Amino acid sequence: MATKKTVGTVAELFAGVGGFRIGLDKAGFETTFSSQWEPSTKTQHASSVYVANFGAIGHSNEDIQEVVDRVVTGKSNEIPKVDLVVGGFPCQDYSVAKSLNSSKGLEGKKGVLWWSIYKLVANRKPKFVFLENVDRLLKSPSTQRGRDFAIMLRTLGDLGYTIEWRLMNAAEEGFPQRRIRVFIVATRNDLATWNKKKPEDYIFKSGVLARAFSFSPLKEVSTFELDSDPEQITKKFNPQGKISPFLDSGVYRDGVVWTAKTKSNYAGKRATLKDVLVDSADVPKEYWIDKDRLAEWEYLKGSKSIERTHKASGTTYFYAEGKMAYPDSLDKPSRTILTGEGGNTPSRFKHIIKVGNRHRRLLPVELERLNGFPDNWTSTGAEGEKISDVRRAFFMGNALVIGLIERVGKVIAQELRKQI
């Protein structure tokens, strides 16, 4: 149950180091369940950092698929009923193995984490669902552009939700990083302000994302229907389509999609990379780049055409790379932080900045600031262990921009207060 000081309760899945929770805490929510489990590593660094900051109560460091299966089969109540389910889940293949008409009901591919979200929402019926993913979700897989997102919309919509999405570039909303992610908000139909005569109003006026971020259409809203059978979507949606029908904003309800290409109307203050930098006197020696290694960095950042041979066929081809900023501009938002940002090895994708006459990499605390985390949020684990700089950079490459989460959370909080 929410306390008197909170507006609602949250279950945070795929929690990482707690970006959703920080943003939603600021919006007035209480997280009563969290889950973070990394299958590819024995030491659970992210979970340890999460517990170090929030405590272990209500936190699970176990495969979420197993936890959800216990809950939906009635074997446990470890995920309580909540007002809001959130998560930055992996982008995978969401194809359907069995249709709604089968005796066992709807089932997705084994090991695909979307289906754990689906089963939990079906069982708990939260008032809202707030998800985040990479932008390619709207156009995957490459052989059926948009199919995976279509399956998500159809299956979640069939549970009784109105679903809106918006492709967000954090820099366009004033934040110091050009981080592009798709935000998805599902509102239970009994709570959604829906105008049957003007469904597009939900995209630009009445929807949660419409009120959290001001944006307007660049072209007319297009509409199309989704097959009632998710299995048929898997088989037949946009066969060999080169372009996804899902544009950067839209809404889905009762089998119908409305979608549009949009632009941000943000007119406030805009932060840049230099706004997050620490004083040069506080930069450890190992972060400054020796002059004799600058040529290697510059080469990796430059345009090039490299001859390669295909291992299977033996065919020769040229791999081309375009030019990247060198050094990264301090007067603009940073590029997207990637998981390989850490370490001193020269790289095409790591940030390199010039301060005075010297070049250096970004510190973990600066990467945290680019995502809006408190300073040194990821420095220490639950047992007091020091987290390596490489691992801290990895966390930030997987994280989200907290300020965006807070803005969405405040709108959802407004909706929940209407029910009090």
From the candidates 53, 58, 72, 91, give the one annotated as an active-site residue: 91
* CB burial string 141-159: b at 16+ within 10 A, e below: eeebbbbbbbbbbbbbbbe
Q: Give the Å distances, CA to CA, from 109 to 57, 99, 114, 148.
A: 32, 12, 9, 12
Cα 161 to Cα 186: distance, rounded to the nearest angstrom: 6
Packed helices 114-124 and 64-72: angle between N→C axes, nearest 10 degrees: 30
Pairing of strands 8-13, 29-35: parallel
Cα 250 to Cα 210: distance, rounded to the nearest angstrom: 10
Cα 272 to Cα 332: distance, rounded to the nearest angstrom: 5
No. of helices (H) and no. of strands (E), the chain: 12, 18
Cα 87 to Cα 132: distance, rounded to the nearest angstrom: 6
CA-nearest of 132, 128, 25 to 85 is 128
Q: Is 91 a catalytic residue?
A: yes
Q: 257: which 2 tokens?
A: 């999609």
H or E element that contains 25: helix 19-26
Q: 344: which 2 tokens?
A: 């001193």
Q: Do 62 and 54 touch, CB atoms closer than 8 A?
A: no
The position carrying tokens 């009632």 is 228
Residue 200 burial by Cβ neighbours in a 10 Å radius (0-12, 13-18, 19+): middle
**Which active-site residues does the annotation give?**
91
